Structure 1
């Protein structure tokens, strides 16, 4: 995985959410959470695995809504942040955080109703391996997002300390086909990249986001979107 050592440091874990989801980044947090909720659907008693759960912002949210959920991550520091978040939300008894390798999931076949990963595949050196493992342990559904090759992110991607793996739709369709997954739905969003929103105050980000959404809803919106949310079913 790209930047694995960087990602696991205590300093990164402690500052992760403040750096990404404050200021204009709050818009990103809300949109990503809504994308997960829309894709997964009813949560009561659903058995869910989150890959690369990080600080648990999705894990805790789904536990609060009735899911039986396991959050898996390679970073012990990130998982500790997640456990603290779960304690504060009063759901520590309703979820489990585990340290583990997404390329070798410690679960039997068809163990979870839904398996999902957000902010993961852009760092994956071997995406086919990870998606195959997600498919193996999923009984019904696999959900994930990608950063897109034909987008503004490609302009500055080379400046990022870890870079990113950018995907075309054809790339994703091949990954799904190879993993025996059937694409059910896809949403495409964010003409402007995440990094732009994180740098500006929320009061400025809101009207810019309105313009961004207008472009997204236009005939060229899907083509230039920075992010895609993929909802696939097990064949």
Structure 2
């Protein structure tokens, strides 16, 4: 968990944030570490209680403006007001239309060359690989592939969170302004193997900073010095706990639309849990 937080903080810090808006700041897991380095930090969330608790943790060195508002409410903000906007570990609680509305609204607030950081995105291309990984770790070696396939299909049908193909981000910004960042932690768990980060850079400034530890493909670590991947054409290479002939998950993982919520539900804009599951 600490490594997951540290990597996210490092990636945002590499963007040289100064005037920051964090949408869905929750308990301040990132705000408390980033705000002291910024000239201005605005944190919004839909939970009044959460923001009240966060306010008690602010110090003279960690000042921030806190506001209760949904993710798609940009009232009072002006075009170009922020150089960095953060949505970390929250977009899985939206539906697609709501997400696109939030992303477009956020991009409109970016200063030239500013960055929109969308972190901890669940990779739709790896949804079957993820559920196969979970089920395979629980089942006896002798379990028939057909039974594994059935369990995986059941879990996918019960998904309530939004999963996104990286190509979605090219529907709101040109490919050259979209940078994909796979998780680089050596720890192998749900947060590091099946999720990715995205940086969308506003026109009119320098290129997105390259990160020293950026794997080339979500789901599979690359060399620590590997470059960030710009554009969304890369296919995932799932890492499997063991071979399971006949399951078909790996082949089917490559044939996906760019967004889905297997069990559609109304838009949800609640904050992420304080301690994401590892």
Same fold flag (TM > 0.5): yes
- What is the DSSP-based 3-state SS (H/G/I as helix, E as strand, rest coil) of the residue aligned with 1:210? coil
CA distance in 2, matches of 1:168, 1:35: 21
Q: Which residue number in structure 2 is paired with residue 114 of structure 1? A: 84
Aligned to 2:73: 104
Tell me, in whole angstroms, the C-alpha distance in 2 between the residues paired with 1:225 and 1:174.
25
1:143 and 2:140 aligned: no
Q: Is the 8 A contact 2:22 2:86 kept in 1?
A: yes
Higher Cα radius of gyration: 2
Aligned to 2:160: 163
Superposition map of 1:172-211 within 5 A: 172-177=169-174, 182-183=177-178, 185-189=179-183, 210=186
Q: Across the two proteins, how many residue pairs are aligned to each other? A: 173
Cα offset, 1:27, TM superposition: 2.7
Which consecutive unaligned segments of at least 5 residues does structure 1 have?
1-24, 191-208, 214-223
TM-score (norm 1): 0.63
Counterpart of 1:28 in structure 2 is: 4
- Structure 1 residues 127 and 68: alpha-carbon distance in aligned structure 2, compared to 1, 3 A threshold: same
1:70-102 CA-to-partner distances (Å, cap 9, x unmatched) read 001111122122212223xx435x311111122
Distance 1:212 1:112, change over 3 A: same
Post-superposition Cα deviations, 1:44-66, rounded to whole Å, max 9, x if no partner, equal xx111111111112112112223
Note if contact 2:93-2:161 (Cα within 8 Å) is conserved in structure 1: yes
Match of 1:58 among 11, 17, 30: 30
Q: Distance in 2 between matches of 1:58 and 1:68?
A: 14
1:229 offset after TM fit, Å?
Answer: 1.2
Question: Is the CA contact 1:142–1:232 (under 8 Å) kept in the aligned structure 2?
Answer: yes
Question: 1:103 Cα deviation (Å)?
Answer: 0.9
Give the RMSD, CA atoms, in angstroms.
Answer: 3.0
1:219-234 alignment to 2 at 5 Å? 225-234=193-202
